[in-house]
Amino acid sequence: MSNTTTTSAGKVRINRYPLLRKLLIGFIVISLLNLIISYCFYTPKLFSIDNQNRELIIKYNILQDRIRTLESKIDDIHYRDISVYRSLFSVDTLAIDGIYNPYPESKYAALQGDEYTSLMTSSWKSLDNLARKTYAASLSLDQLQILAKNKERMSFAIPAIWPIDRTQLEWFYSFGMRAKHPIYRTRKMHKGVDLSCKRGVPVYATGDAIVEMTDKGLRRRGYGQQVLLNHEFGYQTRYAHLNKIYVKEGDRVSRGQLIGEVGSTGGSTGPHLHYEVIYMGRHVNPVNYFNRNMTSEEYKQLMEKMKTNTDLEIE
């Protein structure tokens, strides 16, 4: 029994061996053919991958175009920033050292190594450039926002209105060199304007300010009872010869706020408000500030009320 089994098993091995060999050879031949065909000709799968690649490149190029469009938009914003907005606030161009310097090539080393390198690297470089410009533009806008707030504050601070109700004005004596001082007979500078009106006429702050100084001025010379306001941005205003003062040093006052009453204290011979505007430590003509809202007719009427000589003040 055991012999038969051995013989039949041996037969099986002998019979099957050429078949296996044929299969093996067949397999190798088919593989080689497949390799040669796939190398020389596209298979459907390769076709599809190749098509996808082509589409990706097209999409990448579209993306690059969009990056370039964004770059030109941000360049336009940058141009408007330096030539319009910043010049509006009289500030220099924002300078950040090296902000526009490209990154070193080593940053893009990881992208090297295939036929798409130049496509990838140029896109990354464009995006980095865009990021730098956007950062600079946003910093500049932050600065401008602060400046705009200051500008608004400044527009409220500048002494731009009349310190008394204009209809109460009887006559006024102008700013500048006096014709001749009525008492001392010398030519002296009149540092403000004298607004002649009735005693007790309300006196208003001409712009937002902090009360820098109040003076009881008990002497019978000089400014008498006075208020000096500090408007910041280089402006101060003085209201002198007052009858009453309604504010104290350190108070914050806003434009149009009642600060006192017209009187005739100090070196004064009749009720009037002596009003000064000081810019950067120099006295300037107040009329140039409070005539801004006047029509030419109103200005003409004002000029008719101007006196060139007065004995209102004793200095």
Using CB under 5 A as the criterion, what x/- string covers residues 275-314 for binding Zn ion? --------------------------------------x-
- Least Å distance, CB 77 to Zn ion, is 52
Per the CB < 8 A criterion, the answer to whether 291 and 302 are in contact is yes
User: Please, which residue, 74 or 240, has the CB nearer to Zn ion?
Assistant: 240
DSSP count for the chain of H helices, then E strands = 6, 14
User: Please, which residue, 81 or 313, has the CB nearer to Zn ion?
Assistant: 313
Q: In whole angstroms, what is the distance from residue 109 CA to residue 123 CA?
A: 14
User: Please, which residue, 78 or 274, has the CB nearer to Zn ion?
Assistant: 274
**Only segment of 63-71, 123-131, 272-280, 299-307 that touches Zn ion (CB under 5 A):** 272-280
User: Please, which residue, 255 or 272, has the CB nearer to Zn ion?
Assistant: 272
- Least Å distance, CB 312 to Zn ion, is 7
The enclosing H or E element of 68 equals: helix 44-80
Using CB under 5 A as the criterion, what x/- string covers residues 181-200 for binding Zn ion? -------------x------
Q: Look up residue 268 and give its DSSP letter.
A: B
User: Please, which residue, 150 or 264, has the CB nearer to Zn ion?
Assistant: 264
- Gyration radius from the chain CA atoms: 45
**Only segment of 63-71, 82-90, 138-146, 270-278 that touches Zn ion (CB under 5 A):** 270-278
Q: In whole angstroms, what is the distance from residue 3 CA to residue 13 CA?
A: 15
**Only segment of 92-100, 138-146, 219-227, 271-279 that touches Zn ion (CB under 5 A):** 271-279
Q: Which amino acid is at 282?
A: R
- Least Å distance, CB 313 to Zn ion, is 5
List helix spans (H) across 158-178. Answer: none
Q: Tokens in use for 187? A: 């030519």
Residue 133 interacts with Zn ion (CB under 5 A): yes or no: no
Using CB under 5 A as the criterion, what x/- string covers residues 57-96 for binding Zn ion? ----------------------------------------
User: Please, which residue, 136 or 193, has the CB nearer to Zn ion?
Assistant: 193
Three-state DSSP at 28 gives helix
Residue from the set 274, 277, 278, 289 that interacts with Zn ion by CB under 5 A: 274
Q: Which residue's Cβ lies closest to Zn ion?
A: 274
- Least Å distance, CB 268 to Zn ion, is 8
Which among 232, 257, 230 is positioned nearest to 245, based on CA atoms?
A: 257
CA 207, 210, 212, 214 dihedral sign is positive
Contacts of residue 144, defined as CB under 8 A and 6 or more positions apart, other chains included, come to: 81, 85, 86, 89
User: Please, which residue, 261 or 313, has the CB nearer to Zn ion?
Assistant: 313
**Only segment of 66-74, 81-89, 262-270, 274-282 that touches Zn ion (CB under 5 A):** 274-282
User: Please, which residue, 142 or 311, has the CB nearer to Zn ion?
Assistant: 311
Backbone angles phi, psi at 75, to 5 degrees: -65, -40
Torsion of the alpha carbons at 83, 84, 87 and 91, rounded to the nearest 10: -90
- Least Å distance, CB 246 to Zn ion, is 21
Q: In whole angstroms, what is the distance from residue 120 CA to residue 107 CA?
A: 12
Site of interaction with Zn ion (CB under 5 A): 194, 274, 313
